[in-house]
Amino acid sequence: MRLIFKTDAGVITMSGKSDTDYVIKSVSGLSVPERNYECISYYGADGKTTLNSFFSSRIITLSADIYNCNKTLMRRTSKILFNEGTLTVTEGHIKKMISYKPLKLDFGERHGLIQSFAFQIECDNPYFYDVFNTTRAIYTRKNNITSPFTLPTVFSTRVSETVIVNNGDVKVYPTVVISPASSSDASGTYTISNLTTGASIMFSLTCQSGEKITADFAKRTITSSLKGSIANSLKKGNMSDFFLSKGENIITCTCSNTSVSPNSILIFKNHYTEAI
């Protein structure tokens, strides 16, 4: 297993073997985090009723040795690790990330050129996520010409629906990017729907040539590459209700103006309750 800590100050790679300067001795907090429960008890009634359950922030603690250590390497270690950043965990073909903030960094005993230390971080979002985005087209034109043909024929077909598979352990909030398919402006009411969950949002606007509209459901924002925030264009629906449930999700993107053929893509990362 390798742990890669990346901050604005640099990158440190740790391994369970002596193939790096940083050798892991122990690590905890990479498995499923502790679940918390909100409960209520009624006077005179046995037991209690669970109202809600959730994961709190994740705490990851490790101890390691620095080989061939000197004062310069110790200063570098402190500078890099004690900053907010990301932790990437790799094990074979598995690679997952998580964002963190540092809590403690303590240097222990030194034995010759080997310096021991302990490091603890907190992850406000307790879920690990994919290193790379998954990107899927929602609204595109499909080329129908794959072999010799005779006229008349339909050269392409508009596709405004796709199946998105969330392979993670929990629901995730995606990002949808819409742009005109032609050089002309595209006015109309755009609707993005998840037919699996029943959630949808609707917004009205004029999408100019070269403009990109980004609906970031995690951040609850709608922005334009030319105009900035266009949150006032939202006419119907709550962005907090639009997510990808575990498994298959049928996503559609349509425009009330039938002459408009916008390209739209959906971007997301699977989220996981454990690193390995």
Q: Residue 25 — very low, low, confident or very high, per pLDDT cuts 50/70/90?
A: very high
Would the pLDDT of 36 be above 60? yes
| Bond into 180 cis (ω within 30) | no
Cβ(65)–Cβ(114) under 8 Å? yes
The pLDDT of residue 55 is 87
Q: CA–CA separation, 248 vs 172, rounded Å?
A: 12
pLDDT per position as a tens digit, 248-270: 999 998 888 777 667 899 999 99
Domains of the chain by start residue, with CATH: 2-126 (2.40.30.200), 134-270 (2.60.120.860)
Return the number of other C-beta atoms located less than 10 Å from residue 94's C-beta: 12
Question: Which residue shows structure tokens 């006077």?
Answer: 43
How high is the pLDDT of residue 180?
75
pLDDT confidence bin for 120, thresholds 50/70/90: very high
pTM: 0.84
Give CA–CA dist 140/155, Å, rounded: 14
* DSSP codes, 200-263: EEEEEEEE-TT--EEEETTTTEEEETTTEE-GGGEEE--GGG--B-SEEEEEEEEESSTT---E
- State the pLDDT at residue 243: 97
Residue 240: band (very low, low, confident or very high) from pLDDT cuts 50, 70, 90: very high
pLDDT digits (tens, 9 = 90+) for 143-183: 544 555 454 443 334 557 899 999 999 999 999 999 876 66
CA 151 – CA 229 distance, rounded (Å): 47
Amino acid 256: pLDDT: 83
Helices within 125-190 (DSSP H only): none
CB 124 within 8 A of CB 56: no
| Lowest mean pLDDT segment, chosen from 27-31, 140-144, 184-188 | 140-144
DSSP state for residue 172 in the 8-state scheme: B
Q: Write down the mean pLDDT value for the chain.
A: 89
Q: How confident is the model at residue 210 (pLDDT cuts 50, 70, 90)?
A: confident
- As a whole number of angstroms, the distance between CA 145 and CA 190 comes to 29
Residue 155: its pLDDT value, please? 37
Which pLDDT score, from 0 to 100, does residue 152 have?
A: 44
Question: Which pLDDT band holds residue 31 (cuts at 50, 70, 90)?
Answer: very high
